A and B are shown apart, each in its own frame.
Chain A
């Protein structure tokens, strides 16, 4: 009896409160793009540490360098390179978006559009890169 709704309370649909006026909403223009930017940045950093060491083998001997760089041409590593280039392309385009939003008023008021442009540029880059790279990995051309 005590838990009955009283007549004066109109039934309303419950809504999740949304914070107003923050950049970081839980959609692709906010939090997820930030998480992805962070993960790709860390991944590229660790690749770069190894990559400088493998390149340094040119100072040991031609045979040593060729042996290690040869592993870049195997199918498994070939797929890893697709992931690496995907990470770089995302970090680069999204980084440019961050810079535009920071320095350019128009960018701040058109964040959604800019995020879609980032996704579109990423898709175009990968559409150009992936077939070409897989042909090189699997047929050597």
Chain B
């Protein structure tokens, strides 16, 4: 009986099981989202903290001005999705690195996933159902373009 022995110098090839390599796509996602987030977050901080009177300008009327423009609604929503998934996936890496107990790690990862999902849905709803001129709101708290009631 003859036995074939693999050439000992042949390079190691990973056994491929599934078609989709989740960890690889996670790695790529961290990098692609990171590049986009630099633009979105720096833009967010520049408009809110550097222009105008900086942090002092921020109030309900300021948000009313920004979110009556779809441009800023979409800007913030894309930033929300990208940052939340990037951050939660990064936290998952950290849990994998430090939490040795499988049960504890699983609980933490479920909590990460749940909080990311809930906050993404909440934030998206907030940005798109926002009403800059709520009925009965005092005129000095809302944007100047709101009709005086």
Contacts and interface: CB of A to CB of B under 8 A. Distances in A.
A9 B27 CA distance: 52
Measured as residues with beta carbon below 8 angstroms from the partner, the interface class of chain A is: 35 or more
B55 A52 contact: no
Interface centre among A42, A70, A95, A132 (most CB of B within 10 A): A95
Contacts of A81: 49, 55
28 contacts: A42-B94, A44-B87, A48-B83, A48-B87, A58-B67, A58-B126, A62-B59, A62-B138, A65-B63, A66-B60, A73-B55, A73-B58, A78-B55, A85-B45, A92-B34, A92-B41, A92-B42, A95-B34, A96-B38, A128-B50, A129-B50, A133-B49, A136-B49, A136-B56, A137-B56, A141-B53, A141-B54, A141-B56
Interface in B110-147: 115, 119, 122-123, 126, 129-130, 134, 137-138, 141-142
B53 A45 contact: no
A102 B87 contact: no
B35 interface: yes
Contact of B88 (A45, A53, A55, A135): A45
A96 B45 contact: no
Contacts of B126: 52, 55-56, 58-59
Given A56-B122, A66-B141, A102-B31, 11 more contacts: A41-B90, A41-B91, A42-B91, A45-B87, A45-B91, A52-B126, A55-B126, A59-B129, A63-B60, A81-B49, A85-B49
